[in-house]
Amino acid sequence: MLSVVPTPLTVRAPAKVNLHLGVGDVRPDGFHELVTVFQALSLHDDVTLTPADELSLHVTGEGVRDVPTDPTNLAARAVVALAERYDRDPAMRIDIVKGIPVAGGMAGGSADAAAALLGAATLWGLEVTRDDLDEVAATLGSDVPFSLHGHTALGTGRGERLIPALARGEFHWTLALAREGLSTPAVYRELDRLREAGAPPRAGSPDELLAAVASGDPHRLAPLLANDLQAAALSLQPGLRRTLRAGMEAGALAGIVSGSGPTCAFLCASADDAVDVGTELAGAGVCRTVRVASGPVPGATVVP
Ligand code: C5P
């Protein structure tokens, strides 16, 4: 009998940048209350699922030496969580091709988890709604629901509660990938430490930024980009200041640390400008490598 689901099945999931990342106080569960605006970018990971006798994981591409290939990998955890909930056998081969920087503040692990969730649900023919998948996604990580949904969205709670945001047109980005990654918990801890020692500025309301995103005007958006984690990321990797400065000197409209970093994201006026900024940054020796990307793009999607 022919199966309607093609196997192997590949799901593509996007990277994200936080256009606004307001970090509130620590909650009793140890997470910080967030108000954030996510945008999904054209940089992506591909996750291919193949039915097999046992669960195994194989990772190739960008920065793979730092990606676990044991059951702690978020894609494997996603398949196991879904299997437990819907009483399935998680035995399958998971192949991940990484295009999103590892430990870079761009939700690479979350993208893999989102792709694995959608892929396994499709492979098993589960009759699940987006809400069902969101619920499992949120147990895996704060950014996993957004990796499923993509586009531009306002996130609250830990970042897992999403409201879609209107975005007109296409925004163009240059990404400066760092030589060393940063641990997300370490960056949040550093922010707590900085806040105990003084008062680094806090991002205000994202209302104006959301209006700028809806207008599609990068010049209007540029001065409104805000990230409360930036001070902490710069404190842990002071060299990022030089990267941010170099991007501005190269003609970017604005530069910001992406999420918990250390990737620096530069908003540019056009696709051509993004390439020019990338060329200058690569030549300046202030990062490991550069990528250009655009957003918003959809969330995890089965590749036809
Ligand atoms: O949810 P996720 O696994 O991505 O979070 C990784 C770590 O980042 C958490 O363990 C926590 O230390 C920190 N975090 C936080 N507040 C959030 C999201 C993440 O403190 N809202």
Q: Does the Cβ of 24 fall within 6 Å of ligand 1?
A: no
pLDDT (tens digit per residue) in 104-116: 999 999 999 999 9
- Report the b/e string of 285-299 with b at 16+ CB within 10 A: ebbeebbbbbbbbeb
Residues 57 and 185 in one domain: no
Residues 98 and 195 in one domain: no
- Model pLDDT, residue 3: 54
pLDDT (tens digit per residue) in 157-177: 999 999 999 999 999 999 999
Residues 150 and 180 in one domain: no
Whether residue 83 is contained in a domain is answered as: yes
pLDDT (tens digit per residue) in 262-294: 999 999 999 999 999 999 999 999 999 999 999
Residue pair 109/74 in contact by the 8 Å Cβ criterion = yes
Q: Establish whether 105 is an annotated binding residue.
A: yes
| 98 carries an active-site annotation | no
What is the tally of structural domains in the chain? Answer: 2
Residues 223 and 140 in one domain: no
Catalytic residue of the set 112, 143, 228, 273: 143
With 60 as the cut, is the pLDDT of residue 218 above it?
A: yes
Residues 175 and 192 in one domain: yes
Residues 160 and 20 in one domain: yes
With 60 as the cut, is the pLDDT of residue 1 above it?
A: no
Look at 119 and 6; give whichever has higher pLDDT: 119
- Model pLDDT, residue 2: 46
Q: Is 69 helix (H, G, I), strand (E, B) or coil?
A: coil
Residues 141-168: what's their mean pLDDT? 98
Both tokens of 111, joined, read 């993208």
- Among 251, 281, 275, which residue's Cα sits nearest to residue 263? 281
Residue range(s) defining the domain that contains residue 232? 171-295
Q: Does the Cβ of 142 fall within 6 Å of ligand 1?
A: yes
Whether residue 264 is contained in a domain is answered as: yes
| 143 carries an active-site annotation | yes
Q: Establish whether 102 is an annotated binding residue.
A: yes
Look at 39 and 7; give whichever has higher pLDDT: 39
Share of residues in the chain with pLDDT > 90 (%): 94
CATH number where 226 lies: 3.30.70.890
State ipTM: 0.97
Whether residue 4 is contained in a domain is answered as: no
- Model pLDDT, residue 121: 98
Residue nearest ligand 1's atom 9 by CA = 185
With 90 as the cut, is the pLDDT of residue 65 above it?
A: no
Q: Is 278 exposed, middle or buried (0-12, 13-18, 19+ CB in 10 A)?
A: buried
Q: Does the Cβ of 32 fall within 6 Å of ligand 1?
A: yes
- Model pLDDT, residue 84: 98
Q: Establish whether 30 is an annotated binding residue.
A: no
Residues 121 and 238 in one domain: no
- Segment of 4-8, 60-64, 157-161 carrying the highest mean pLDDT: 157-161
Which backbone phi and psi does 88 adopt, to 5 degrees?
-120, 170
